[in-house]
Structures are given as C-alpha cells and as structure tokens.
Amino acid sequence: MVSSASPEALTLRERKKIQTRTTLWNTAIDLFVRHGFDNVSVAQIAAAAEVSKMTFFNYFPTKEDLVVGPMSEHTNEMAETVRNRAPGETPVEALHRHFLDGLARRDPVTGLCDRPHVLAVQRLIHETPSLTSRALTVLVQMQNGLAEALGPTFKDRATAAIISGARDALTMENTRRLLAGESSDAVYPDAVANANEAFTLLKTGL
C-alpha cells in the first residue's frame, strides 16, 4: 500500500502518514496469517505496530477495511476504462485491452500476482467469511459503477452484470491456480488465452 505520488512531491507529514498506514497494514496481515483473522484484535495490531488503537481507527474503520482496502481502490476502474476508451473502441474492447494490460503487469486485481503478501490476503479472503462478504460487496460496487458508465437502461445493467461475471471468473481462476502453488509466470499464458476467449464471447454475444 503505497502512494502513487513521488516522494519528492510529498510533505514530511504525508510521508509519515503513508509510513504509518503501510506499517499497520503489513503488521496486521502478518498477524492474521499467523493467528487467523478472527483471532487478532485491533488492540493487538496497534500494539505490534507501536501505535494507539485510535491511530488504527484513523486509518482503517475496521479490520475488514484494512484487508479489503487495496481491492476497494479498484472500485471505479472498469467504469473509468469505459468512459476513457479510445474513439471507436467499444466498452468490451476497452475492458479486454485493460485486463490484458493488467495481466502483463501482474496487477493483483486480475488475480495474477504471486507476491507473498498479495497471496496472503487472497487466502484470508477465501478462508474468512466476513472478508469474503466484504470482497463480494466490492465486486457489486464495481459492477454498479460499470452499469452507470454504460448507460441508464436495464440492458446496460444486464450487460454490466455479464461483463463483470466473466471478469470475476477470469480473476478467480488465476487466483485459484496461484493459491495452489503455481507461479504467475507459469499461469500467464493460460490467463491470456482465457481472457481472449472470454472477451471474444462477450464481443460476439453482446
């Protein structure tokens, strides 16, 4: 969890806030992995990070928000991709291009990122009901945002649901294989092939 701004553009206070947020996140994930999400309290996280409970809540409203936070940062991504697509490019074509670019960059939102902390978060989400529920809420928000970008009709909402379902299936397949022990580089060719197949179906069907 880092800022996209260059260090030189940030004030000392801003850098300290980013450092504190990152320390809290890393500390919490380490504790969750070792002891289980439900067995770790906010007080324990704060103590391990050497901050107060109030400081924790200044950065994260709940433990669930801490874990799912990085995922929530992508809530408007599909909608923005559609709104900012190139002239003459259809929404499906834009989303296809964007997903392939994410795979190439090993973007965690595509499920194709095998960095240890990313995999740890994925395991936590899959194994913890409250986190699974929160992640599903984020996916619904992504779908709703896409629907708004497509238009106001029922057809637009149905289209958003179909596109989102296909994208979620691709992401879950990549995640499943990485959690089973495969590397992102090994899965990448199949991930691209699956994405091409899925988006071709969307293009011909929609």
Q: Where are the domains of the chain?
A: 7-60, 70-205
Q: How many CA atoms lie within 13 A of 168 on its CB side?
A: 16
* Burial grade of 39 (CB within 10 A; 0-12, 13-18, 19 or more): exposed
| pLDDT tens digit sequence for 68-99 | 988 988 999 999 999 999 999 999 999 999 99
Full-model pTM: 0.88
Residue 205: the pLDDT is: 85
| pLDDT tens digit sequence for 124-181 | 999 999 999 999 999 999 999 999 999 999 999 999 999 999 999 999 999 999 999 9
Find how far residue 101's CA is from the centre of its chain.
Answer: 15
Q: Which CATH code is given to the segment(s) 7-60?
A: 1.10.10.60
Q: Work out the pLDDT band at 206, boundaries 50, 70, 90.
A: low
Distance CA 199, CA 73 (A): 24
**Could you tell me the two tokens for 58?**
């200044």
Q: Work out the pLDDT band at 12, boundaries 50, 70, 90.
A: confident
CB contact burial 109-134 (16+ within 10 A = b; e otherwise): bbbbbbeebbbebbebbeebeebeeb
Q: Work out the pLDDT band at 10, boundaries 50, 70, 90.
A: confident
8 Å CB contact between 60 and 24: yes
Residue 4: the pLDDT is: 47
Span 188-192, average pLDDT = 98
Q: What is the DSSP string of 100-163?
A: HHHHHTT-GGGT----HHHHHHHHHHHH-HHHHHHHHHHHHHHHHHHHHHH-SSHHHHHHHHHH
